[in-house]
Amino acid sequence: MNALPLDGVVVVALEQAVAAPFATRQLGDLGARVIKIERPGTGDFARAYDETVHGQSSHFVWLNRNKESIALDLKDEADRAVAAGLVAKADVFVQNLAPGASARLGLDAETVRAGNPGLIVCTISGYGSSGPYREKKAYDLLVQCEAGVVSLTGTPDAPAKAGIPVADIAAGMYAYSGILAALYERERTGAGASLEVSMLDSLAEWAGFPYYFANYGGTPPPRNGAKHAAIAPYGPYTVDDGVVFIGVQNEREWVALCEKVLGRPELAERFAGNTARVANDAELTAIIEGVLANVPAAEVESRLDAAGIANARMRTMAEFAEHPQFAARDRWRRVGTPAGEVSALMPPGVPPGREPRMDPVPALGQHSAAIRAEFGRS
């Protein structure tokens, strides 16, 4: 059986930037047909974020494989009718326009589902459709700030944003999972659904541990750079020829670290209990780094592996691209773009024995004529 789980599902995406395109690309990975509506001339503004991938945007190439692009001017009555016609025949409609824009275009959930009751509509916004922030513009960094994530990230001297767009990714993942759940429910009931996903709600869910830590502990988790605010030892440790990252999760691992890696079994009792280790992290770090000061990183990693203790090295993006685990598991594929092929990792979660769709990234309006002809609008 070669069919993918979402073969035959038609998704219309009135989308831009990161969150919605991430959700719809994943639907395409699992076989859905994704028709992306873009502005004539400029298209999704993420197309112009940078020019690093054969002259194309790295964000756009990442997020927009498996899609067909139709250019529509939604200020034009005829093109609005084309968009409405596409949505009327779709299974899923995803949009992340500015607040209120879809209603002004006649493409809000209530309107489009009136003519297509089995339709699943997913609206992605920055802060939600109600509340004092409903009209506020939202970009990833700004939502990271509002969700408290920037206050948690960085060093004691300087906060920092996450290095990837975590607010966008969180919203895209909840949109994706919500759409899958709605498709499953429709199979049982025949009814569509109207879903709303906000970036703030999504990232707030991811901030659950620091919320509980601060709200019930009295103080926020400290900014510890690459170390963990509530677990020790957990983070980077300098050794003879570099840095090794160590993660101890329980007392059994802590005892094993002391006995089998450090050769200092007396430390196990001296720093018993994670709370004591976190409180005395500076002293503990000095001891660990003192013991390992003359031990090469490869030997430290070997000892940690033998003791069953999690560890890692910090890889650059160039090293990530050459990671032996990806190569050994045949995770890389080639994907077409308007400017030539690129390497892309297979998405997680594809059913065993089946290849995900890895179709090309479209040029702006590449499929306009074909889609108009198919859906009866010249």
- Do 234-313 and 10-206+330-374 fall under one CATH topology? no
Check residue 100 and give its pLDDT: 86
- The model carries a pTM of 0.91
**344 in helix, strand or coil?**
strand
CATH architecture of the domain formed by 234-313 = 2-Layer Sandwich (3.30)
How many angstroms separate the CA atoms of 86 and 65, rounded? 20
Q: Is 3.40.462.20 the CATH number for 10-206+330-374? A: no
All structural domains of the chain with their residue ranges: 10-206+330-374, 234-313
Check the CA dihedral 55-58-60-62 and report its sign. Answer: positive
Helix, strand or coil, per DSSP, at residue 198:
strand
Annotated catalytic, 228? yes
The CA distances from residue 339 to 43, 55, 61, 315, in Å, are 16, 7, 11, 29
Q: Which of 59, 228, 323, 367 is an active site residue?
A: 228
Q: How many CB atoms lie within 10 A of CB 302?
A: 14
Predicted pLDDT of residue 283: 95
Is the Cβ–Cβ distance between 249 and 308 less than 8 Å? no
d(CA 165, CA 175): 15
Extract the tokens encoding 91: 């299974």
pLDDT by 10s per residue, the chain, length 378? 578 999 999 999 999 999 999 999 999 999 999 999 999 999 999 999 999 999 999 999 999 999 999 999 999 999 999 999 999 999 999 999 988 888 899 999 999 999 999 999 999 999 999 999 999 999 999 999 999 999 999 999 999 999 999 999 999 999 999 999 999 999 999 999 999 999 999 999 999 999 999 999 999 998 988 999 889 999 999 999 999 999 999 999 999 999 999 999 999 999 999 999 999 999 999 999 999 999 999 999 999 999 999 999 999 999 999 999 999 999 999 999 999 999 999 999 888 889 999 999 999 999 999 999 998 754
